[in-house]
């Protein structure tokens, strides 16, 4: 882990491109290696937001109010498990549209009344998996709501219309209109998942966290910015950060957007405007709760220049974990770091 490097002298050192990493100021000497300089560079990554904040807030306040009144239509059914220490239910609720979103509600058999709950989301093309994937949270006595993402590898389908063409994959569905896009659908699905968690038996509605990696980290991030029910966010290597940069440089799902624009170059500005509504670079100031973010400096999917750009605009209590030699991955070390962070804020 890296310590913080601060101060004007450090910034001057970061600006220097000479072969020497030594700078002298009288008798005072600063010695920094390339990793320290890279840290300073990322800490000062501050691109201009791609959407006006007041306009963005009006947009989301209207969208959230529209969906707040819609019934969740939650159903809960018991699920067999070979593990005697956990109780598993299959939960279904209505998401953005009439699509039924599927999730696991997993709890320790001996769970306390009013225990914390972690709402988790999977990475792109993945699903919620088997309940035992979340055993580390059960060992803390917590509940888990593990949620599918519509249309991907889980049981959840998608009723979104396909009336503006798509590139291979999911994320360009409806991309010309933010209100009807795939990103809107999965975002509202995630926000409503938090509301479902708040109503589950045994869950303390004041101690709900969102968590995930990559796509899951992005959904944890954005639902924390949009749902008043979220108490903490653990977003590992999150997407949905500085999305215009990602469309140009990333090897991630955003290559689907690049492919779409390649086919329809005249739609570039409309597509980027739509994406701006879901970009954590723009939404970060809405966060009011503690946030932990992790970043791999060799990540070509969710690149550090995207994650730091959003993280640097978060104004609530925040922590970041740097992994200079990691790519697009969440290590066991970071998995434990996230648990310790959530323990601190959920109790």
Active site residue 328: yes
Contact 95, 188 (CB under 8 A): yes
- Identified catalytic residue from 299, 322, 326, 345: 299
Question: End-to-end alpha-carbon separation of the chain, Å?
Answer: 25
Strands (E), the chain: 22-25, 28-31, 75-79, 86-94, 100-108, 115-121, 143-147, 203-213, 232-236, 291-296, 318-323
Alpha-carbon span 62 to 66, nearest angstrom: 6
Burial grade of 7 (CB within 10 A; 0-12, 13-18, 19 or more) = exposed
- Identified catalytic residue from 36, 158, 181, 214: 214
Alpha-carbon span 205 to 219, nearest angstrom: 19
Active site residue 24: no
Burial letters 256-267, b for 16+ CB under 10 A, else e: bbbebbeebeeb
DSSP secondary structure letters along 279-306: -HHHHGGG--S-EEEEEETT-SSS-HHH
Residue identified by tokens 């963005």 is: 56
On whether 124 is known to bind a ligand per the annotation, the reply is: yes
Contact 158, 180 (CB under 8 A): no
Active site residue 97: no
What residues are labeled active site?
214, 299, 328
* Sequence ranges of the binding site for substrate: 124
């Amino acid at each position: 882990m890296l310590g913080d490097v601060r101060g004007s002298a450090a910034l001057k050192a970061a600006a220097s491109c000479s072969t020497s990493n030594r700078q002298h100021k009288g008798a005072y000497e600063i010695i920094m290696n390339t990793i320290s300089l890279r840290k300073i560079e990322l800490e000062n990554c501050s691109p201009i937001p791609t959407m006006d904040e007041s306009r963005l807030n009006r947009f989301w306040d209207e969208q959230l109010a529209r969906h707040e009144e819609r019934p969740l239509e939650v159903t809960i059914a018991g699920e067999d498990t070979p593990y005697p220490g956990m109780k598993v239910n299959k939960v279904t609720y209505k998401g953005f549209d009439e699509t039924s979103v599927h999730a696991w509600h997993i709890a320790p058999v001996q769970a306390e009344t009013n225990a914390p709950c972690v709402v988790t989301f999977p990475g792109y093309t993945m699903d919620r998996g088997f309940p035992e994937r979340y055993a580390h949270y059960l060992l803390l006595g917590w509940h888990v709501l593990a949620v599918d993402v519509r249309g991907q590898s889980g049981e959840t389908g998608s009723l979104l219309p396909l009336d503006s063409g798509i590139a291979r994959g999911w994320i360009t569905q409806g991309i010309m209109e933010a209100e009807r896009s795939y990103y809107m659908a999965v975002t509202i699905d995630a926000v409503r998942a938090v509301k479902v968690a708040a109503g589950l038996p045994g869950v303390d509605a004041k101690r709900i966290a969102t968590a995930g990696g990559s796509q899951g980290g992005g959904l944890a991030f954005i639902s924390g910015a949009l749902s008043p029910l979220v108490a903490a966010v653990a977003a590992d290597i999150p997407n949905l950060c500085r999305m215009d940069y990602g469309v140009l440089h990333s090897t991630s799902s955003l290559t689907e957007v690049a492919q779409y624009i390649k086919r329809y170059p005249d739609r570039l500005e409309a597509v980027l405007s739509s994406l701006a509504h879901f970009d954590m670079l723009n939404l970060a100031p809405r966060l009011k709760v503690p946030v932990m973010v992790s970043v791999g400096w060799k990540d070509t999917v969710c690149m550090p220049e995207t994650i730091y750009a959003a993280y640097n605009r978060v104004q609530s209590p925040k922590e970041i974990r740097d992994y200079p030699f990691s790519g697009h991955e969440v290590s066991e070390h970071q998995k434990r770091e996230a648990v310790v962070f959530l323990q601190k804020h959920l109790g």
